[in-house]
Every structure is written in C-alpha cells, then in structure tokens.
Chains A and B, each alone.
Chain A
Amino acid sequence: MIDKKKLVEVENLRKYFPVKSGFRKKNYVQAVEDASFYIYKGETLGLVGESGCGKTTLGRSVIRLHEPTSGRIVYDGTPIYDSKEGISVPMFEYRRKMQLIFQDPSASLDPRMTVGEIIGEALDIHKIAANKGERQERIRYLLDEVGLNTEHANRFPHEFSGGQQQRIGIARAMAVEPEFIVCDEPISALDVSIQSQVVNMMEDLQQEKGLTYLFIAHDLSVVRHISDRIGVMYLGFIVELAESYELCQKPVHPYTKSLISAVPLPDPELSRSRSRIILEGDIPSPMNPPSGCRFHTRCPYAKERCKEEVPALRECGPGHYVACHLYNQ
C-alpha cells in the first residue's frame, strides 16, 4: 500500500432478492445489508464468512453483476451507481476495468469452446486485438502468463485438471487488462498442493500489473495469507474489518473470535491445547433475520440492547472497524 488512493468505495450497499411466499405476498432475502467499505488501489481486501452470509452477493453487487437494491458505488472517483441520485452508468466500458474469477472452474468454462476461443472472446468483445495475428499473439502471451503451455490454446476445458482450468479462468479475466478483480472463492475447489501454486501466481500477477483484488473465501488461513485487510461478514452485515494481522491476532467481535478459534490448525499440540469458542446452533435464515444485532441469537455475551438496536460499524483502533454494542462498555 504505497499508493493510498481509494479505487473502489462502497456506501450502504443493499441487495435484496425477492422470493414469492404465498398468494400476493412478497418476501425478501436480505442478502447484503448496509455494507460500507473501500478498497485501496493495489491492495487485496479479503472477505470471509460462512455460506449464506452474502459474501458472493456483495462481491457481485460491487461490480454490478447483481443490480444493487440501494446504496452507492464509486469506482476510481466516479460514481457508477447511486440510488439516491439515480445514477446508474452503462457498465460496458467498466467491464474492461473490473473482472471476476469464479469458484468452480469446470462450470465457468464453456465445454464446447476451446481455450483459445474462451480467452479470445473477451478480446473480440472489447476489440482489443487489431488483427488475427495480434489476437493469436495475445492469447499465447496470456497462457504463458498463467503458467500454461501456449500449445494448449486448441484444447477443450475438460482436457485440463482443476488447477489448470482455474488458470484458464484467470487468463480470461486478465485478457482485458483489468485493474480490479473480484475473486469469488478461486481456490476452494482445488487440491491442497495446487492451491498454493494458484495463490502464488495470483500474488505475482498482482505485483506485476498492480492489480486490486477483492478476495472472497471461507478459508480464513488462505484469506489471511493473501489479504492486506479482511472484512468478516455475518448474515449480510460486515461485522468487523481490519488489517489481516490485527484481525487474526486481536479480533474484537465475538463472531470473529469464534470463527478464528474454529479454524483447524495443522499443529496437533497447539490445536488440542487452545481453548475454543464453539458457537451453538446454526445461522438463522436471511429471509427472516433476527432483530437488532443479527448475531445476538448465537452470541455468548448478548445483552438486551443487542436484541433491539442494530450496531453500527465504528472505528475501534486505527483502521480497525467493528459493529458490536459491547465493545468499550
């Protein structure tokens, strides 16, 4: 973080999905509720949380693959979405700047297209290559960049292993030379020995091209490794946001604490001797979330106030934000 310029700013972002329930009754899944954060240019912001907490929805809403319900998104100084002022810019030119890497590499590559066609499609849509030769050259360069053999351009996705397929997905995202990439669980589907290869490659690409990542994953140890700062989500809310070392060493929110203590450590003596905070019960449904602080149903320290009032995200240390009534009380 040499350059402390904010690339992406998100304010009070909300995303509700309508669901039908009964006759003429409409209900909403409140997937993302009041999310505010920013990402500096060149940094990696990690987003962790359990399944169903809205991290994928938030990631997709930021680049407007899902149209947000309300809120404000600013990209590189220009607002690209603002529900209050009614701003909603055409996204085509921004798609060159923001890209997405998907979780399941085999499901996100068209099985009937060759690797060259998959990567070339992005070049064609944005008219990046002037002629056929340049297009070929560019595809070869991209494959080389992600550590694949340049002769693989004529093969189909099923001929590759999971790790290689994910590399193709990354090459496709890189084809338009983006500045900002949302990585939605890019390594969860991969084997342990392959995960580290892909993580290293993503770090190299970031350094080389000055990329900014929003890295979404449920594996806290991987997120800690790759991120500069980490946001923790629970049921649509960002409950804590801090620098990654600070968050793992000095968590403040009770949910973050239990999440960290639940991560299995590859160290038998340490993992058996440490004290764990085991949460009771399950995540409530986002269709009918609890009142007040959404964590109060599982929080061991919950007070009356937590059931009534929604805690705001406030600063509790330099760059450390937490949404909990009980902090400093």
Chain B
Amino acid sequence: MDEHKKLIEVNNLQVSFFTPAGEVKAVDGISYSLGYNEVMGIVGESGSGKSVEAYSIMGLLQSPGKVIGGSILLEGKNLLDYSKKQMRDICGKEISMIFQNPMTCMNPVYTVGDQLMEAVTCHDKSISKKEARNRAIEMLNMVGINNAEKRIDQYPHEFSGGMRQRAMIAMGLICHPKLLIADEPTTALDVTTQAQILELMKELQAKNNMSIIFITHNLGVVAEICDRVSVMYAGHIVEQGEVNDIFYHPQHPYTRGLLASMPRLDSEGKERLIPIEGTPVDMLDTPKGCRFAPRCAECMKVCVEQEPPAVCINANGHISSCWQHIRQMKEEVGNR
C-alpha cells in the first residue's frame, strides 16, 4: 500500500437543502483529504454541516438535500458519478458508517445476529449461512461482547447502550472497510462507557489498518483519538491541521474561542470562562463575508465584506481561513 496516496479526497464539496423557506447551504465548498491509516476528526457545533458532509460521502442524503458541486474521490474514483447500485456495493464494504444512536439505527424486530449476517451476505453472495454466522460471532468477540454465541440471537433491546454501540461497530467493520465514518459514536454514552468505546476504536483501527472520519462536537474526544482535525463553522472548514497544531497553536479565532470557553478538569482555581459571544449563524441568511465575523472579537472591515482566503500556516497542512493572517503577513512584509 502506498502510504502517500490518499484514500479519500473531497474537493470543494457543496451541499444544499432546498427548503420552502429558501436554500440552505449546509456545506459550502469544503475540501480535505485523508490518507490511509489516518484518523481525522471533524468538529463543529450543531448545524455546522459536519453530519451532512458525512452523509453525502455515503450517498445517504435525503431530499431536499442535494450535492450541487464538487467531487468526492475514493482512491481516485468519483463517488458522485456512481449509480445507486454501485454505491450499494461500496457502502458497507469499502466505506462504512456508525451512528450516534445505536437504538434507532438497529432494526428492533431482527436479532443482532441477523443484522450482522445481512451485512456479510449482501456483499458476498457465495458465503454460506454458517460461515456468515461464524464471522458475526468472531466480530462480536472482537468488539468485546462476552458470551457472543448466546448474544448473537438476542434482540437490540436486550443490549445495554454501550453494548449496542459495540454491536454497531461490529456491524460496520464486518466487511473490513477501508474507511469508517463515525458520526458522534460516543455522544449518547456515559463517560466511562465512552472511554471503553474510544479505547476499542483505537485498538481496531490499528489492527485493521483503516482510516476513520470521526465526527464529534467534543474537543476532548478529538484530542484523544484523532491524528488530524478539521474545525467546521456554518458549512465552512475554518481551520484544519494536525492535532497538536490545532490544540497547541490554534490560529482561527473560532478555534481559539472554543478552546478557551471549555472548563478544564485539570485547572486549579475558579477562573471565569471566556465564552464566544452571540448565537450560531442562521443558515438561511448567512453573512456575506466571513461567517464567523458577527461573533468574532477581532472582526475587521474586510471580514464583513469578503470571504477570507485559506492560508497555509505550516508545512504539515495546517490551514486556517481568516483575514487576520493576511494582515499579519502584510505587516511582516512592511517591516522588512
């Protein structure tokens, strides 16, 4: 496997929802790429477009949502050109997804085993039922469900929340996909269960050599599991880079604001939190310039008028979209 080649490349992806109230540009021109064996985190608040973006990779967007521009290349092939049937072959086999709430994503009238086996037999018609069942049991063992031979014949409601999420992960990984998209997989879980699941995902990622796109709003979870991070705000990626760059040298005012506004468990005193003022953008009526400008403490005149360009901060792919960087560069040139 060529380590330098990219597994998935998203170029200028645009997704809109055509609602009665008007067009909502949920994802407005985002680009990123993900290599083999890499874990990328996408962080953002609710409504920032992080889930929509993942759904469009899987071809799961539902009306009135529509991809209106850009491309999604999986190993060089554009997924947006694929027919529904072709997508079906890929989903589950090459790319797989796990969801936030495992209870609503599993069929309550089928046993967990039936649902796991369906994923196997769908993609490999030649496999026998017994083999599929063995594969399913093996997967359940791998995700740490004890007594898998018995558990496989139980229904989802007989599982606890953490175990359901484990079964969901087993279902996602049963065909050994190259890419796993995890949409807030730990948000519905308690912290101790969350720690268990994160540990499991790290272990499975290393074992199976797969890439993960990890969507979450929890920066702590990102710090734990991701190699690279994209921060989304109102349909744009405002900053992306390696996890250490984002957490130790955040550039964009939104990223800095997010990190400053979080209470820390390991800090000593009762210092005051520094919140980001204002409310999230109304996606029906987005501002003309930088979308963060109305809430930004460092807003300049140009920010309101024009969209900021993406500026490369360092050679490791640390990119931030903010006019402040341009101003700083101009000042530096002026000083010389």
Contacts and interface: CB of A to CB of B under 8 A. Distances in A.
A270 to B, nearest CB: 8
Given A196-B274, A220-B265, A191 B280 contact: yes
B209 interface: no
Contact of A264 (B46, B224, B273): B224
A282 B261 contact: no
Contacts of A222: 263
Chain B CB count within 10 A is highest, among A51, A191, A261, for A191
A218 B190 CA distance: 8
Given A50-B192, A268-B224, 14 more contacts: A192-B217, A192-B218, A192-B261, A193-B258, A199-B263, A199-B273, A200-B275, A221-B265, A224-B263, A225-B273, A259-B191, A263-B265, A264-B224, A265-B223
A160 B174 CA distance: 43
15 contacts: A192-B261, A193-B257, A193-B276, A196-B273, A196-B275, A200-B272, A224-B263, A226-B263, A263-B265, A264-B224, A266-B219, A268-B243, A278-B199, A282-B160, A282-B193
B275 A282 contact: no
A259 B266 contact: no
Contacts of A221: 220, 262-265
Nearest to A163: B279
Interface residues on A, range: 35 or more
A260 B261 contact: no
B62 to A, nearest CB: 23
Interface string B196-238: 1011000000000000000001111111100000000000000
B262 A161 contact: no
Contacts of B273: 196, 199-200, 225
B332 interface: no
B160 A265 contact: no
A194 B261 CA distance: 9
Contacts of A164: 279
Interface string A190-230: 01111111011001000000000000001011101110000
A265 B244 contact: no
Nearest to B146: A281
The 4 closest A-B pairs by CB, nearest first: A264-B220, A225-B263, A196-B275, A262-B195
A164, A267, A268: which has the most chain B beta carbons within 10 Å?
Answer: A268
B163 interface: yes
A271 interface: yes
A19 interface: no
A276 interface: yes
B219 A192 contact: yes
Secondary structure of the A contact surface, majority rule = helix
Contacts of B160: 282-283
A51 B261 contact: no
B279 A263 contact: no
Nearest to A245: B268
B100 interface: no
Interface string A276-316: 10110011000000000000000000000000000000000
A3 interface: no
A150 interface: no
B223 A271 contact: yes
A258 interface: yes
Interface string B268-311: 10101111110110000000000000000000000000000000
A269 interface: yes
A272 interface: yes
